[in-house]
Structure 1
Amino acid sequence: MASNNSLTGDGLSSRPINYRVILVQVFVAVFLCINFFQIIIFLMKDSFYTTMRYILFAVILLSDCLFLFMSDILLILSYFSIFIQTWLCLLMYIVLSVYIFVTPLVLTAMTLERYVAICMPLRHAELCSTRSTLHLIFIIHSLSSVPCTVILSIVFASAPHSFYTQNIICSVEMFILYSWQGHLRSAIGQFYFLIMCILIVSSYAKIMKVAKAASGKNKKSTRKALKTVILHAFQLMLSLIQLWCPFIESAVLQIDLMLFINVRYFNYITFILAPRCLSPLIYGLRDEMFFCALKYYALCGLYKKQSSS
């Protein structure tokens, strides 16, 4: 009966909305609007969807939109204690588990694209073609699916059939049936991020070497590439810390429940929302060509008024 009441809406009235939930909704709504606007701009210029870095940037925008939307739904379901069936929660878990890795992997790919552009300019057109980009996106999604596949294989082998039909308050922890499962998930994630960090640091070192030898316009271009790599590394660091959050939260939960709620909220804002909100601000506004298109379409109505007057 409790699950039916929650599904029909009684669960919504049992807990008041506080400022934290409203703040998250504002953050999510604002950045979804910004992301959608930048996706529209991407689709409006042919040169964008034939260039690797812009295609990868669009993949990040789409990935972040999906992740923000799904994680926000999960937050609302959890906050209001709304019960859903396990199979629906399982679908949400699959999406979130896959797309938690897509953004950092794409950031790494964008760093490697900048490395090829600066350090191997003669091979850039060959290595960074549209076809290569599509293959790279497929590889990224395949790699992102590995941790989820490993965890779900254990769940499917261990959980009884009744597990998938019961009503639950959806949480990603529902599919961690054993403590070693959580350690395995964390180990896979940290291995991924170790490889990504190595690739970003080595790319930065090689671009730095080219920057020292460059002059004039080339020097300016390489410096901009270095700043982009640093910003990607910063986003990656925030995403890496996110993997340690469950361990911190479980330790805090044993100390105090209210402290656990505060820490979990802080982790959600800082290490889940923030890295995915930085992409449109960092890359969309720093890229000169994309920023010009952004400004043109954002001020299109103003241009029309000026031309008519």
Structure 2
Amino acid sequence: MVNSSALSGNGTEPRENLYQSKFVYIAGIAEMVVVILLILCFCIFICFNALILNVYFTTPHIQEHARYVLFVHMLITDILYLIASISLFLAALYAVYITVPICYPILNLAALTFRITACNLAIMALERYVAICYPLRHFQFCNAHRANTSIILMWVVGVVPNVADFFAMQSTVEQYFFFRNVRCNLSILSVNSLQNTIRTLTFISTFTLVALTIVFTYIKVMQVAKKVGSGTSNASKAGRTVMMHAIQLLLCMTAFISTVSETYLRDSPAILLTLNFLLFTCLPRFLSPVIYGVRDEVFHKYIRKFCYFNL
């Protein structure tokens, strides 16, 4: 009986090891496919944005409109955000250690561009509000110069929490900490509770103000549209544009679904983490400029013309 069970166990163990090795091999192939898909989507995203940027910088009269200045700024911000986020994700996925002076700026760039995209959407909604509710003063308030000024202010105000986070961290860690090689993520560089407080308050205040701004502008614009009483009026179109900004804000915030779900998928196969990152962090950013660029009449016309002459 002892010999029989021993033989049975010896026969089952290699079979289980074979199944396990096959599963690991298939999971590795699937993970590689998803990573390649992620990189391919990013390349398509870059090409599409390059087309829009080419239209913008080669068409002088477009550069005079505040809405297009803000839209192009959002595209550039999204590119920076995705470069930082994908770099951090791939480094984490393949266990690449990065020195703190490189890791910390990349993390801060991702956080900063994440917030600035939300603020940019609020400014774009305000531009539509002024265009509809104060049409005679629209060019006075919403010209290219003021749009560029608002962009500078967004970056200046947006970088304040990052500076505060740096000083909070520096006051706690020893000097040698900045010469360490680490797995680059927020938990490694969150060395005291003050940093978490700064990040939480910054997130809540930013997205609350942005959401309230979008809701306010949408209500005001739709009130004008209701008075005009025409479904094809500029006010109705502006209302749909503001609603699109609200959808873009929701798409932007899906990145937090990725952050939360990562805690539950920490011990899961890498392919689930990769799919989670692709669907909730990258895909919304990939879709946002496509939705706006194709929907906008000016960009749509130039994109069609460009594709016609280059096919």
Would you say same fold, with TM above 0.5? Answer: yes
Shift of 1:177: 1.4
Instruction: State whether structure 2 residue 309 is matched by structure 1 residue 295.
Output: no
**Where does 1:1-309 land on structure 2 (aligned, <5 Å)?**
18-179=32-193, 181-215=195-229, 219-243=232-256, 245-250=258-263, 252=264, 257-258=267-268, 262=272, 264-301=273-310
1:108-137 per-residue CA deviation (whole Å, 9 max, x = no partner) reads: 111110111111101101001222111100
Shift of 1:298: 2.0
2:6 maps to what in 1? none
Question: Is the alpha carbon distance of 1:274 and 1:231 closer, same or farther for their aligned partners in structure 2, counting shifts above 3 Å?
Answer: farther
Aligned partner letter, 2:285: R
Shift of 1:149: 2.1
C-alpha distance in 1 between matches for 2:129 and 2:37: 38
C-alpha distance in 2 between matches for 1:194 and 1:106: 14
What secondary structure sits across from 1:158 in the alignment? coil
Question: Is the alpha carbon distance of 1:142 and 1:184 closer, same or farther for their aligned partners in structure 2, counting shifts above 3 Å?
Answer: same
Question: Is the alpha carbon distance of 1:186 and 1:261 closer, same or farther for their aligned partners in structure 2, counting shifts above 3 Å?
Answer: farther
Question: Is the alpha carbon distance of 1:215 and 1:300 closer, same or farther for their aligned partners in structure 2, counting shifts above 3 Å?
Answer: farther
CA contact (8 A) 1:78 1:170 kept: yes
Shift of 1:169: 2.1
CA contact (8 A) 2:254 2:284 kept: no
CA contact (8 A) 1:35 1:280 kept: yes
- Residue identity over aligned pairs, in percent, reads 28
Question: Is the alpha carbon distance of 1:300 and 1:247 closer, same or farther for their aligned partners in structure 2, counting shifts above 3 Å?
Answer: closer
C-alpha distance in 1 between matches for 2:204 and 2:303: 36
C-alpha distance in 1 between matches for 2:74 and 2:65: 15
CA contact (8 A) 2:258 2:281 kept: no
CA contact (8 A) 2:132 2:224 kept: yes
- How many residues matched? 283
C-alpha distance in 2 between matches for 1:145 and 1:274: 26
Q: State which structure, 1 or 2, has the greater radius of gyration over its C-alpha atoms.
A: 2
* TM-score w.r.t. length of structure 1: 0.84
Aligned partner letter, 2:301: C
CA contact (8 A) 2:112 2:158 kept: yes
Ranges in structure 2 where 5+ consecutive residues have no aligned partner: 1-27
CA contact (8 A) 1:56 1:110 kept: yes
CA contact (8 A) 1:107 1:232 kept: yes
Give the ranges of 4+ consecutive aligned residues of structure 1 lying more than 6 Å apart after TM superposition: none
C-alpha distance in 2 between matches for 1:64 and 1:260: 25
Shift of 1:261: 7.3
C-alpha distance in 1 between matches for 2:132 and 2:174: 54
C-alpha distance in 1 between matches for 2:223 and 2:77: 33
Shift of 1:234: 1.4
C-alpha distance in 1 between matches for 2:256 and 2:201: 9
Question: Is the alpha carbon distance of 1:271 and 1:183 closer, same or farther for their aligned partners in structure 2, counting shifts above 3 Å?
Answer: farther
Aligned partner letter, 2:297: E
Question: Is the alpha carbon distance of 1:261 and 1:195 closer, same or farther for their aligned partners in structure 2, counting shifts above 3 Å?
Answer: farther
Question: Is the alpha carbon distance of 1:245 and 1:18 closer, same or farther for their aligned partners in structure 2, counting shifts above 3 Å?
Answer: closer
Alignment RMSD: 2.3
What secondary structure sits across from 1:177 in the alignment? coil
* TM-score w.r.t. length of structure 2: 0.83
C-alpha distance in 1 between matches for 2:132 and 2:280: 31
Ranges in structure 1 where 5+ consecutive residues have no aligned partner: 1-14, 303-309
What secondary structure sits across from 2:191 in the alignment? coil
What secondary structure sits across from 2:233 in the alignment? helix
